[in-house]
Amino acid sequence: MKRFWFWKRDEAPAAPTARSRGERGRQEGREGRPDDAPSTLLTGDPTEDSRSLEILLDTIAAVTANIDLDTVLRDIVDRSLQVTQAERAILLLGGSPDELSVRTAQDKEGRALGGDLQWSRTLVRRCLEEGVAVRSVVQSDQQALELGQSVYDLKLRAVMCAPMRARNRTVGVIYVDSRAMRREFSARDLALFGAISAQLAISVENARLHGDSLEKVRLQKDVEIARRIQQHLLPAPPQGVEGLQLALRYSAAERASGDTYDFVPLREGRFAIMVGDVTGHGVGAALLTHAVQAALRSYLELIDDADVIVTRLNQRLVATVETGNFMSLLLVICDPREHTVRYVNAGHPGLVHCRRDGVEVYEKNGMVLGVVGDQTYEISPAVPLAAGDLLFLHTDGVDEAMSPGREVFGVDRLKAVLADARPESADGALARVDAALKAHCGGRALDDDLTMIAVKVL
């Protein structure tokens, strides 16, 4: 963390001369210069000092509690505006003046700023080159021009920016400005602003390191707990289902998986099989899969129509899951007494049906869940089943398994393997697919979670 000086001057400052007032915009707040007053976070005023420390501690708490970079950046920009009472705050990421790009910008009313933003590039460059927080109070058009054409054009009267440095590396700049004549950024503002920028730099760096091996080591214990819970909640394939034989292969790319599945007996001898895949993998994806699994079981107990169930499940995900997260799902309803199967496929790899006369893939008939709230899903017409038929449900970890030469396993290979495996038992068919995948991948670990379910019609 950047070092700051926590003291106040004992002696009263001398009255400013006309010359010193004229030079203040160029001199004041440039740390490390002999003629600069030290930046002071603590002023001796108990009320102001308490407020400063509270703001700083709140910022640290916010950074520590959240690893989502965008959320942290928006929060810090908000806090910067509150602390400085500026009119605009702009957060730029990059390691040098020529690499900077606007990551987020906001005005004092909380409105996001877009378009071709202008700011004092001269002051930002000085901030990065000197590696310290800087400020300027503009008292004339000449001073504005010295700080850059943007300051002059925008009629800015107070500008302040601070570098964001973490682990001896510059990650960006946070910048605030104001056109109000009455607003001057003080030494306390500068010190507090610099302290907040140091916390922001830490949050940016932590977010970047979140996925590397050090973060994985820190999370290993929690992930292992999540894995055990997941293994407990995901069921084994049931035995003794009338007219059907079921088998399962399941593995996670990480300790916790974004794949989910379930087997649910229904009324009148029917049987439901579900397989789904949430975006990503790891603990967060695993939590969402179990929420879906629990909701689906509840719906299946109360509602007979699979299309209504999937439609309601989609509405629930749209309402409760963060934007950008979605799930593919295949829900299959087998009726051994009627010798039929029907399905709802929400953006998932197709159901594979192996018959004596060939192999057919029933593709998706709806989009993924969690994106469009008013999407309605339809169940397929009844597909006849015959003794010896084999149904195969899977996640995209099968189709997209890569060879050492970066060639995907693909649907055609899968169909060929299943055609040969049709006479096998359900478990034997999965063993055939498993062996083909391992041969294709050359012993390499899978890049994605993998779930395979085989249903043999007796």
Spell out the domain ranges in the chain: 18-209, 218-457
Please give the pLDDT value at position 67. Answer: 63
Strands 88-93, 169-178: pairing is antiparallel
* 280 phi-psi bin (left φ>0, alpha ψ -120 to 50, beta other): left
Please give the pLDDT value at position 154. Answer: 63
pTM of the model: 0.53
Contact 118, 154 (CB under 8 A): yes
DSSP alpha helix (H) spans, 28-148: 46-65, 69-84, 121-130, 141-146
Highest mean pLDDT among 5-19, 65-79, 165-179: 165-179
Residue type, 152: Y
CA 246 to chain centre: 36
Average the pLDDT over 257-264 and give the result: 85
Lowest-pLDDT choice from 3-12, 109-118, 384-393: 3-12
Q: How many CA atoms lie within 13 A of 458 on its CB side?
A: 10
Residue type, 31: E
Q: List Cβ<8 Å contacts ≥24 apart for 363-367.
A: 366/310
Question: Which carries the bigger pLDDT value, residue 374 or residue 256?
Answer: 374
Q: How high does pLDDT run on average in the chain?
A: 79
Report how far residue 450's alpha carbon sits from residue 441's, in angstroms, rounded to the nearest whole number.
13
Q: List Cβ<8 Å contacts ≥24 apart for 15-23.
A: 21/139, 22/139, 22/140
Pick the CATH number of 218-457 from 3.40.1310.30, 3.40.50.300, 3.60.60.10, 3.60.40.10: 3.60.40.10
Pick the CATH number of 18-209 from 3.30.450.40, 3.10.690.10, 1.10.260.40, 2.60.200.30: 3.30.450.40
Phi and psi (nearest 5°) for 266? Answer: -120, 175
Average the pLDDT over 12-38 and give the result: 39
Please give the pLDDT value at position 160. Answer: 87
Residue 331 DSSP code = E
Please give the pLDDT value at position 369. Answer: 92
Please give the pLDDT value at position 334. Answer: 96
Report how far residue 446's alpha carbon sits from residue 450's, in angstroms, rounded to the nearest whole number.
8
Does 29 score more than 90 pLDDT? Answer: no
Highest mean pLDDT among 39-53, 124-138, 224-238, 384-398: 384-398
Please give the pLDDT value at position 325. Answer: 80
Q: Which residues make Cβ contacts (< 8 Å) with residue 334, sequence separation at least 6?
A: 244, 270, 271, 272, 273, 340, 341, 385, 391, 455
Question: What band does 444 get if pLDDT is binned at 50, 70 and 90?
Answer: confident
DSSP alpha helix (H) spans, 91-211: 121-130, 141-146, 149-154, 187-209
Cα dist from 288 to 67, 316, 359, 364, 407, whole Å: 18, 12, 33, 22, 30
Residue 34 DSSP code = T
Which residues are bridge partners to 433 per DSSP? none
Contact 348, 279 (CB under 8 A): no
Phi and psi (nearest 5°) for 222? Answer: -65, -40
Report how far residue 297's alpha carbon sits from residue 294's, in angstroms, rounded to the nearest whole number.
5
Segment 289-305, tens digit of pLDDT: 778 888 888 899 888 89
Does 261 score more than 50 pLDDT? Answer: yes
